[in-house]
Amino acid sequence: MAKAEKKVDCSSMEGKNGGERMKNNYDGKIQCLQLNQLVDFKNHPFKVETDTELFELMQSIEKEGVLIPLLARPNPRGEGYELIAGHRRKAACQWAGVSEVPVIVLDLDDCQAVIAMVDSNLQREHIKPSEKAFAYRMRLEAMKQQGKRTDLTLSQVGTKSMDNPTLSVAKVVADYDESGEWKVQNESPKMRTDEMLARQVGESRNQIARYIRLTYLIPKILDWVDEGKIAFTVAVELSYLKEEEQYELYAVMDLEQCTPSLSQANRIKRMSQKGTLDMDELYLILEEEKPNQREQLRIRSDRLNPYFPSDYTDRQKIELIESLVKGWHERKCNEGKNTEKSR
């Protein structure tokens, strides 16, 4: 049964007239907008999963309403507004049948919008490697574009840095020089953009570079990284392969149901750089027994997937299989004991 359409009363957030007062004035005040006025952020790297967390958010919205306003800007590519922060809240509202939501609308340029979008989503508890990879890449490119701008006056820089904490500028010192003229200069040497990003997100420069390397992986291999089938460091090495080589590697991994170790990935990378990598070499490398490898029982996932719920992760599938096998083993042991007693 479809949920009844609901609306959110934004008057308590804005005073009388709500969103009408903000129709042509994007000064950061809260206004009410229809969900169909909000379009998703272009190339948004963070996925909205229909999972337990989204269901709980939907229940919270049904009970309490939208407590934290969404963030948007006028859509630069057409009508409506481009959603910057709040994609999960939007999805939960759609699920709950809510048609109107509180939104803060700011007039941001592309670089400011990217930085705000990334920063708001990096606060999430669970972030996939692929999401972080594309987010870091987008944010770094936006910061570099900001660094190229020369059209900002001192007053504009000061306003932006104070009113928008997602923007970072060098600390400046203003004072009179020896001639008595007012002078503004940087207090510290100019910092590299990747160093600035590293400080802001709490990662090292090298780790950010590793994450960005993941954006060069084909989607199928990147999915395996997100699912934990391929280790992060291994994935970084594989990202240096040519696209066609990655597709060949994926075909071999899928057929053999195995993934390379770090040393094997490094060898594959070197062979690619030398131009000697082909399907035969990939088979030979992946068929090698790893130093700490035990004999494995391999079952193709497509033989088991029909028996699991579609939202089950590989870890959940393994835990269920182990639980079923353990239960079977215990029953067999009990049957054996009962047989011994009856003799």
Give 9's pLDDT tier (boundaries 50, 70, 90): low
Task: Answer yes or no: do 20 and 83 share one domain.
Answer: yes
Task: Answer yes or no: do 236 and 321 share one domain.
Answer: no
Give 186's pLDDT tier (boundaries 50, 70, 90): very low
Asked whether residue 73 is assigned to any structural domain, the reply reads yes
pLDDT on residue 26: 56
Task: Answer yes or no: do 234 and 101 share one domain.
Answer: no
Task: Answer yes or no: do 233 and 130 share one domain.
Answer: no
211 neighbors 136 (Cβ within 8 angstroms): yes
Average pLDDT of the chain? 78
Residue with tokens 């967390």: 53
Task: Give, in order, the Cα–Cα distances in Å from 113 to each of 19, 71, 72, 86, 315.
Answer: 21, 10, 9, 13, 36
Say how many domains are in the chain: 3
pLDDT on residue 164: 40
Q: How many other CB atoms are there within 10 angstroms of residue 14's CB atom?
A: 17
Task: Answer yes or no: do 129 and 20 share one domain.
Answer: yes
Task: Answer yes or no: do 139 and 268 share one domain.
Answer: no
pLDDT on residue 175: 52
Asked whether residue 267 is assigned to any structural domain, the reply reads yes
207-237 per-position pLDDT tens digit: 999 999 999 999 999 999 999 999 999 999 9
The whole-angstrom separation of Cα 22 and Cα 30 is 8
Mean pLDDT of 188-204: 81
Asked whether residue 341 is assigned to any structural domain, the reply reads no
pLDDT on residue 148: 57
Mean pLDDT of 112-138: 88
Asked whether residue 266 is assigned to any structural domain, the reply reads yes
Asked whether residue 110 is assigned to any structural domain, the reply reads yes
33-61 per-position pLDDT tens digit: 888 899 888 888 888 887 888 888 888 88
User: Encoding tokens for residue 257?
Assistant: 């149901």
126 neighbors 109 (Cβ within 8 angstroms): no
Task: Answer yes or no: do 18 and 120 share one domain.
Answer: yes
Task: Answer yes or no: do 74 and 144 share one domain.
Answer: yes
Alpha helices by DSSP H, 100-242: 110-121, 129-147, 154-163, 193-201, 205-213, 219-226, 232-238
3-state secondary structure of 84: strand
Where residue 75 sits, what CATH number does that domain have?
Answer: 3.90.1530.10
pLDDT on residue 16: 35
User: Residue 3 above 70 pLDDT?
Assistant: no
Task: Answer yes or no: do 141 and 251 share one domain.
Answer: no
285-321 per-position pLDDT tens digit: 998 876 545 445 667 777 888 888 888 887 788 888 8
Task: Answer yes or no: do 50 and 128 share one domain.
Answer: yes
Task: Answer yes or no: do 272 and 131 share one domain.
Answer: no
The whole-angstrom separation of Cα 50 and Cα 260 is 31
76-105 per-position pLDDT tens digit: 888 889 998 888 898 899 888 888 999 999
Task: Answer yes or no: do 243 and 135 share one domain.
Answer: no
pLDDT on residue 297: 64
Asked whether residue 70 is assigned to any structural domain, the reply reads yes
Predicted TM-score of the model (pTM): 0.64
Full residue range of the structural domain in which residue 273 is found: 217-286
User: Encoding tokens for residue 206?
Assistant: 């090298």
Which DSSP category does 165 fall into?
Answer: T
Asked whether residue 263 is assigned to any structural domain, the reply reads yes
Strand 172-176 to 182-186 pairing: antiparallel
Asked whether residue 318 is assigned to any structural domain, the reply reads yes
